[in-house]
Each structure stands twice: as structure tokens, then as C-alpha cells.
């Protein structure tokens, strides 16, 4: 196969990226799959992808294969923000897809914060049309009585609740995606993930929301500005908490 052919394939993939057919962060078909589509060998496909990698348009990750390069969305820790606002700030189109909407008995850890009955909403957040995060939110039943699935597809809890959220406690940990979340997020099972737990409080200090946000680790970064204090070089990173093994 001539050199011109793999350049042509690189041109076609480059056009799909520029036109938005292939979205930032999206996983490309396998080399074998691309070879079948274009009627060439994996060697030719690899040469085309290496051209695009040198241009910074695609990258290769172990366990993923090839994906469209995208800077991770920077999530600011000191501020009580939403995924939607962070995506918009990063110049990405944001969309919400509700997966489940139901009132139920709260899981034990959630009941400690919100009481026995809650509204549970599972959703998929999309960035430029591609899966970005799986989010589960639990809300106090008495606050959620007027909420609907349709309203939560268009607006956030913080916009819809008739109470003001002023503070939250947030934890961030690392995990591997289970099969269900991996399928939702369009990545291979056991992909590295950031798992964020948040408890949001109102002006009285009452917990009003508990949420879990799961991001493929290559799509998001959490950033905090550290002010200078007189500490030695051996001090732990801000917010570090040891996790006890079970």
C-alpha cells in the first residue's frame, strides 16, 4: 500500500475530527475496524494514526486504543459549581440524559445525611455529545416533591430547589469502572476513573443533596489553588485523608 493511501486516510479522519463527527475525547474504532472500513491493513491504519498523533489530534492509551485528543475539563475545587457550568467554561456543549428517576428508601449512607426517603436521579452528562460523567443524586423527599424528570433534564437541582445551597463537603477517590458504568461512558471495563462524592448543605447547615459523580480519569482534572502557609516540605497534600482497608 502506497504512502499516499495512509495520508488519504489521515486526511479523512482529520476531517471527521474538524467537523465534529469525531468528538474530543471520543474513542476511535479499533485499528482492525478502521482497516475494514477503509479496506487496508492495520499497518496502513497505524501509519495514518501516527501522522495524526504527531499533529496532536489523536492519542493512544493502554486499554482504550486510539481516541481523539481533548484537554481534560478543569474542575475548580474551591467553588460550589456544577458539571454543566464547568463544561460551558471550557467551551464544551453540555447536555443531560436522565437514566432513572424514582422515590425510594435511601441507602444507609445517604439516609444518615438526608433521612429515610429520597428522590434518586441517575443521569449521564454529555460533553459535545459524548459521555462525560455518570452522576447519581439523592435529594430529600420533601424538597423534591415538585420536581419532574423533564425539569431535571433541562436544569440542575441547585437551580430547581427552593432553597439556597451555600456549602458542600466533597471527596475524590480513584477506582476502576465496573461494566455498567464503562458501557454508559463508552470506555473499556476497568478503565481508571475519578469518583467524587459530595454532600451539599443549605444556609442552616442542613444536608439537602448527596451525589456521586464518576468520570473516566482522562476526561477531567480537579484543580485547587493552595495559599502559602508555614509548613515543612514533608506536609501532606491539602485535603488528604487515609482510606482504611476493609
Q: Which residues contact 242 (CB under 8 A, 6 or more apart)?
A: none
pLDDT tens figures, 35-78: 999 999 989 999 999 999 988 888 887 777 888 887 776 665 55
C-alpha–C-alpha distance, residues 65 and 33, integer Å: 12
**Which CATH code, of 3.30.160.250, 3.40.1410.10, 3.40.50.720, 3.40.710.10, is assigned to 73-223?**
3.40.1410.10
CATH architecture observed for domain 3-68: Orthogonal Bundle (1.10)
**Measured CA distances, 117 to 142, 162, 204 (Å):** 9, 18, 20
C-alpha–C-alpha distance, residues 177 and 12, integer Å: 32
Q: Domain coordinates of the chain in residue numbers?
A: 3-68, 73-223
**Measured CA distances, 87 to 135, 145, 154 (Å):** 15, 29, 15
pLDDT tens figures, 101-129: 999 999 999 999 999 999 999 999 998 88
pLDDT tens figures, 186-224: 888 888 899 999 999 998 999 999 999 999 888 888 777
Amino acid at each position: 500500500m502506497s504512502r499516499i493511501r495512509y495520508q488519504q486516510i489521515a486526511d479523512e479522519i482529520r476531517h471527521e475530527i474538524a467537523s465534529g463527527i469525531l468528538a474530543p475525547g471520543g474513542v476511535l474504532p479499533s485499528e482492525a475496524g478502521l482497516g475494514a472500513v477503509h479496506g487496508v491493513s492495520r499497518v496502513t491504519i497505524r501509519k495514518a494514526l501516527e501522522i495524526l498523533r504527531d499533529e496532536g489530534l489523536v492519542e493512544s492509551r493502554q486499554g482504550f486504543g486510539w481516541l481523539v485528543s481533548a484537554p481534560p475539563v478543569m474542575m475548580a475545587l474551591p467553588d460550589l459549581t456544577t458539571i454543566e457550568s464547568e463544561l460551558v467554561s471550557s467551551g464544551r456543549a453540555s447536555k443531560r440524559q436522565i437514566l432513572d428517576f424514582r422515590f425510594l428508601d435511601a441507602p444507609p449512607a445517604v439516609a444518615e445525611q438526608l433521612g429515610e426517603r429520597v428522590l434518586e436521579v441517575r443521569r449521564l452528562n454529555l460533553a459535545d455529545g459524548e459521555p462525560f460523567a455518570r452522576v447519581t443524586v439523592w435529594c430529600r423527599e420533601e424538597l423534591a416533591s415538585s420536581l419532574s424528570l423533564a425539569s431535571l433534564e433541562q436544569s440542575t437541582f441547585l437551580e430547581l430547589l427552593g432553597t439556597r445551597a451555600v456549602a458542600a463537603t466533597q471527596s475524590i477517590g480513584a477506582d476502576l469502572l465496573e461494566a455498567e458504568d464503562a458501557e454508559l461512558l463508552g470506555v473499556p471495563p476497568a478503565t481508571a476513573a475519578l469518583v467524587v462524592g459530595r454532600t451539599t448543605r443549605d444556609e442552616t447547615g442542613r444536608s439537602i443533596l448527596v451525589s456521586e459523580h464518576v468520570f473516566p480519569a482522562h476526561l477531567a482534572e480537579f484543580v485547587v489553588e493552595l495559599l502559602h502557609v508555614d509548613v515543612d516540605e514533608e506536609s501532606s497534600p491539602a485535603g488528604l485523608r487515609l482510606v482504611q482497608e476493609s
